């Protein structure tokens, strides 16, 4: 799809990924409309509360939906309701307003069933999620797929301005040590630039789900060491038994329910770090997707060492 002169609506454009998509669409010549509670970095801001309002999509040539409730909140019914209001009900409102307009819906690899496959294709079961985020993203994604959207499933998006991955890692350090569950594993990560490239190309792809990640998986331990060094906060890795890490996550979750504060460790986080999770991106590659960025590129910008890649 040629974006020159096109009206592109980006929801969630004030967020990390949404802002990157909005900037790239504007650079490609599009007229960008940013829908959300806060303005995006470019274009025209149109207020939208996904929990209650129908979005204004009049005149849009393309809709890119990135608005979402994210994170690992205090477990319980309140969190489920809050996440459902945005990730499911908000999606339904967006689909009602979008009609037959081309729609790119940015999902997450968190929708996949935990465990069971080291190489995850788009046909991997989408159930059994361990967090309110994963459950509600999966439900919202089902609505988008039924409406004929192109659905992208990135994993652990990182890059300039990342407010989640690197800060969370740094907070986990303890007196020069970084606890990690189990031995080294292989992981897919997604550079925000690679996600943006997929988003802008996706309007020309057939409807359906597509994994989006960097070209090759990474060694988890090499990534952790590289990130710590690049941010000037070196630490030694302390490999804990997975069972012990799981027990600590259970205790942290129980404590969070009592204090009503977000848990410092969850079963979802342990699962994400303790097992191989490599996305098969061949379906996107068949449509011309060519990931151009790596974590090493990002760390080089930060002035740190480069992590090794797994074969």
Confidence at residue 262, expressed as pLDDT on a 0 to 100 scale: 66
Q: How many CB atoms lie within 10 A of CB 42?
A: 19
**pLDDT value of residue 13:** 95
Strand partners, 153: 211
Distance of CA 264 to the CA centre of its chain: 19
Distance CA 283, CA 211 (A): 7
**Range with the lowest mean pLDDT among 41-45, 165-169, 242-246, 275-279?**
165-169
The values of phi and psi at residue 187, to 5°, are: -135, 145
**Residue 308 pLDDT greater than 90, yes or no:** no
CA distance 277 to 20: 25
What is residue 282's three-state secondary structure? helix
Q: What is the pLDDT of residue 154?
A: 97
CA torsion angle 73 140 12 277 (round to 10):
70
Cα-Cα-Cα-Cα dihedral sign, residues 155, 99, 102, 205: positive
Average pLDDT for 190-199: 97
Distance CA 62, CA 46 (A): 15
Rg (CA), the chain: 19
pLDDT, tens only, 21-63: 999 999 999 999 999 999 999 999 999 999 998 999 999 999 9
Residue located via tokens 């490239």:
197
pLDDT band at 306 (very low <50, low <70, confident <90, very high): very low
Percent of the chain with pLDDT over 70: 93
Does residue 304 carry a pLDDT above 50?
A: no
**Given this model, what pLDDT does residue 284 score?**
98
User: Residue 129 is encoded by which pair of tokens?
Assistant: 């999620």
What's the confidence (pLDDT) of residue 245?
80
Q: Is 201 left (phi over 0), alpha (psi -120 to 50) or beta?
A: alpha
Domain topology for 68-302: Rossmann fold (3.40.50)
pTM of the model: 0.91
Tokens of 8: 């592109």
pLDDT at residue 309 tops 60: no
Contacts of residue 184, defined as CB under 8 A and 6 or more positions apart, other chains included, come to: 219, 220, 221
Domain ranges for the chain, please list them.
Answer: 68-302
* pLDDT value of position 305: 44
Closest CA to 161 of 32, 11, 35, 15: 15
CA–CA separation, 23 and 20 (whole Å): 5
Pick from 137, 14, 10: nearest CA to 68: 137
Mean pLDDT of the chain: 89
């Amino acid at each position: 799809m040629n974006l020159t002169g096109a009206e592109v609506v980006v929801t969630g454009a004030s967020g990390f990924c949404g802002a990157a998509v909005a900037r790239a669409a504007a650079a490609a010549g599009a007229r960008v409309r940013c829908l959300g509670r806060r303005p995006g970095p470019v274009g025209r801001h149109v207020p939208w509360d996904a929990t209650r309002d129908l979005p204004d999509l009049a005149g849009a040539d393309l809709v890119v939906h990135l608005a979402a409730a994210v994170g690992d909140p205090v477990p319980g019914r309140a969190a489920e309701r809050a996440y459902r209001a945005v990730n499911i009900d908000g999606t339904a409102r967006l689909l009602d307003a979008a009609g037959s307009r081309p729609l790119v819906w940015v999902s997450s690899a968190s929708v996949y069933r935990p465990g069971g496959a080291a190489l995850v294709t788009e046909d991997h079961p989408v159930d059994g999620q361990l967090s309110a985020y994963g459950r509600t993203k999966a439900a919202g994604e089902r609505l988008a797929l039924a409406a004929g959207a192109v659905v992208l499933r990135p994993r652990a998006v990182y890059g300039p301005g990342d407010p989640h991955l690197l800060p969370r890692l740094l907070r986990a350090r303890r007196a020069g040590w970084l606890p990690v569950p189990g031995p080294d594993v292989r992981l897919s990560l997604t550079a925000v630039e690679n996600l943006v490239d997929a988003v802008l190309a996706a309007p020309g792809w057939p409807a359906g789900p597509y994994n989006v990640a960097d070209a090759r998986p990474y060694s988890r331990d090499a990534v952790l060491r590289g990130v710590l060094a690049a941010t000037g906060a070196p630490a030694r890795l302390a490999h804990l038994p997975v069972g012990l890490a799981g027990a600590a996550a259970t205790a942290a979750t129980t404590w969070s329910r009592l204090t009503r504060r977000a848990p410092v460790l969850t079963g979802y986080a342990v699962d994400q770090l303790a097992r191989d999770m490599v996305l098969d991106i061949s379906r996107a590659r068949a449509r011309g997707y060519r990931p151009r960025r790596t974590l090493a590129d990002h760390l080089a910008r930060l002035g740190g060492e480069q992590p090794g890649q797994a074969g």
